[in-house]
Amino acid sequence: MRIINLGSLNIDYTYRVPHFVRPGETLESSDFTTRAGGKGLNQSIAIARAGCPISHAGIVGQGGKLLISELAKSGVDTSLIVESDLATGHAVIQVTDLGENSILIYGGTNRTLTLTYIREVLSGLNAGDTVVLQNEVNLVGEIISIASELGLRIAFNAAPMTPRVLDYPLEKLEWLMVNEIEGEAITGVRDPLAIVKALRSSYPDTIPVLTIGKHGALTSDHENIYRTAAYRVEAVDSTAAGDTFNGYFLSAVLKGFSLLNALTLGSAAAAICVTSPGAAVSIPVLETVEEFLSLYPATELKQEVIPL
């Protein structure tokens, strides 16, 4: 079984601030870092560190060798990444003293995928292999359709949420990963349980995965909704928490974990992630997550199985 992440590659410019900049305000930051990031890169690293072999496909431009190097250091296959003369995608991130973040992204080379390149990348997969996507690249709807025609399993993280997500063939997905904002935008409802039920109703063959920050996460099969609370930790930086959760959750289900156990593994990995600054650099390796779970087992979490 192969996994390819046809995903974003960003350079993250991160500023530590006392609060998010308000309209018309000039604010001094107390710290600044330049690191590898992007939802695609983060999720590839999370999947690799969770113990699943993965290849990353995408396009980088100026300064992009940093991103290729960061992926390779985590064991991600980078042979499918191509280089361009255009500007690499990047993000300007504000992180407050409370560990909250606000992110502004510029797509750059992430928005220059072509159908020729996409078909070339996917041609190396067999039916039953997995494609991972986020909404930071172009032609997402086309990628989903092509991958579905090839019999591939598709995991899509609908972030950042844009109106065009509603036009994608989401019914072709195996996993749809959203947070509360994205879930509400797709379903029109706000309550977490209602979001999961609405997604399951609209896309009955798709497994919804909903993260709700410090309140935990939910998922569902045809019979039940599974809900877990989040581990209580002192958050320093939540930038890559969702990507870490998604990568670990997906790795777990691909290894044959139950949905509830996959939620637990993803929640533990995300909890460790938020205790360190940065994006990719804060994603834990599997051994660290397993050690965390030995100290704080799932039995200490409030978990529910709710019949549909």
pTM: 0.92
Superfamily the domain 3-9+38-87+110-307 falls into: Ribokinase (3.40.1190.20)
The 3-state DSSP class for residue 35 equals strand
Nearest to 103 by CA among 25, 10, 216, 184: 10
- 236: its two tokens: 């320093």
Q: Pull the structure tokens for residue 278.
A: 């940065």
Question: Rounded mean pLDDT of the chain?
Answer: 96
| pLDDT of the residue at 109 | 98
The amino acid occupying position 11 is: I
- Residue 128 three-state SS: coil
pLDDT value of position 91: 87
Catalytic residue among 12, 77, 237, 243: 243
pLDDT of residue 299: 80
* 11 touches 89 (CB < 8 A): yes
* Residues 266/177, Cβ–Cβ less than 8 Å: no
Residue spans of the domains in the chain: they are 3-9+38-87+110-307
Report how far residue 113's alpha carbon sits from residue 287's, in angstroms, rounded to the nearest whole number: 35
Spatial separation of the C-alpha atoms in residues 280 and 263, rounded to whole Å: 20
**Crossing angle between the packed helical segments 259-273 and 286-295, to the nearest 10 degrees:** 100
Q: What's the pLDDT at 278?
A: 78
Helices and strands (H and E) in the chain: how many: 9, 15
Residue 72 near residue 55 (C-beta atoms within 8 A): no
Active site residue 237: no
Contact, 157 vs 39, CB < 8 A?
A: yes
Mean pLDDT over 261-267 rounds to 98
Give per-residue pLDDT as tens, 56-81: 999 999 889 999 999 999 999 999 99
Is pLDDT at 277 greater than 90 in this prediction?
no
- pLDDT tens, position by position, 136-181: 999 999 999 999 999 999 999 999 999 999 999 999 999 999 999 9
